[in-house]
Amino acid sequence: MLRLIALVVLVHVYIGWRLIADLPFGTGAAIAMICLLVLSASAMPFGEFARRNKHSPMSDRLAGAGFLAMGFFSSLFVLTLLRELILLAASAASLWLSGQEALLHQLHAGSAAAVPVVALFLTFVGFINARRRAVVRNVDVPIAGLPARLHGFSIVQISDVHVGTTIKNGYVTRIVDAVNALDADMIAITGDLVDGSVQRLSSHTQPLGKLAARHGTFFVTGNHEYYSGANAWIAEMRRLGLAVLLNEHVVLEHNGEAVVIAGVTDYSAHHFDPAQRSDPAAAIAGAPARAGVRVLLAHQPRSAFAAAKVGFDVQLSGHTHGGQFFPWNLLVKLVEPFAAGLHRLDDLWVYVSRGTGYWGPPQRFGAPSEITRLRLVPAST
């Protein structure tokens, strides 16, 4: 905890050192910037304090303030580094262009003022985006040879809700109401539903028992379920009436056609429980060859490489949050094989949800949350 606080303070000192001396508007602007940095550095450790004191009545509020400060700090730090690059380029250019000292001074002053203003703007807009209910995103998935009776088969996917510190019963209820209004053939929950124990959060996941679709609701584990006690949550999901798929499948009969719905445990599950190693091959084993379509629910997109080899037509995933907010929405593409949206891998369609909630900072900017309504449609020839 002390090392974390020391690191937070040092980085805030660095930001102050790089910005305050260049700020325009005199002493008032410098004092305001110092106050902002002190507030940010003071609030950021709240999340860790709350994690260690979960039973305190102020725990969730402190954690929420800490996460909000974390989101602001992230934007502030990245923008400060971006400013450094811009000033470095401008300084290099000034060596070749004489008489640009005044312009360079204006750039130093203007950018120093812009960094905290833009960081505050991103935090405010990101907070509004995160706290409002996710919008419905409609996606058509073209399937070659799709039987006519399966045209329009609909799946509503929610993912990465992260019920916990700041996402509670009311937030979940709004999601459930929106999902039910879509009148789907089935509902898929692709992991990272919770951040905490069943004992602490069961009252907030209770609304999920009201999810309704023609063929029911199916759930697969994400990595955060394993941080939170996966077996207890599996039992709780089943108590709520959700079908939990652990490297297994079910066969739905839809208008006389067979639809295989399979699910795997999280890609990293074996690190927590060797018996729950993710296995797409086991999930489809014994599925009828006559099935009109084979759908895999897998929390992490990287499961697609194994899924493509064993005959799945569609994989629904989450995990990435689409990066959640700037600039991580751009950088996530460097570490994930599929960051967001619909992708093709050999004969497999992979759809990656940006998530229906958020994790950590209550911030969404450049990667909107979503409730996804997917329709299976015939591929054009």
User: The whole model's pTM is what?
Assistant: 0.92
- With a cut of 80, say whether residue 209 has pLDDT above it: yes
In degrees and rounded to multiples of 5, residue 376 shows phi and psi of -85, 125
Q: Where are the beta strands (DSSP E) in the chain?
A: 135-143, 154-158, 186-190, 217-220, 243-244, 248-254, 257-263, 293-297, 314-317, 341-345, 348-352, 370-378
Domain boundaries, the chain: 2-130, 137-378
**192, 136, 178: which is closest to 374 by C-alpha?**
136
Query: What does the pLDDT look like over 307-359, one tens digit per residue?
Result: 999 999 999 999 999 999 989 999 999 999 999 999 999 999 999 999 999 99
Which tokens in the block code for residue 80? 């400060």
Are the CB atoms for 365 and 132 separated by under 8 Å? Answer: no
The whole-number pLDDT of residue 11 equals 95
In CATH terms, the superfamily for domain 137-378 is Metallo-dependent phosphatases (3.60.21.10)
How high is the mean pLDDT of the chain? 93
Q: What is the pLDDT of residue 47?
A: 67
Do 188 and 213 contact (CB within 8 A), yes or no? no
Report the pLDDT value the prediction gives residue 59, as an integer from 0 to 100.
77
C-alpha 335/C-alpha 289 separation (Å) is 35
Span 77-99, average pLDDT: 85
Confidence class for position 99, pLDDT limits 50, 70, 90: low
Residue 5 banded pLDDT, cuts 50, 70, 90: confident
* 112 neighbors 23 (Cβ within 8 angstroms): yes
At 235-286, the pLDDT tens digits run 999 999 999 999 999 999 999 999 999 999 999 999 999 999 999 999 999 9
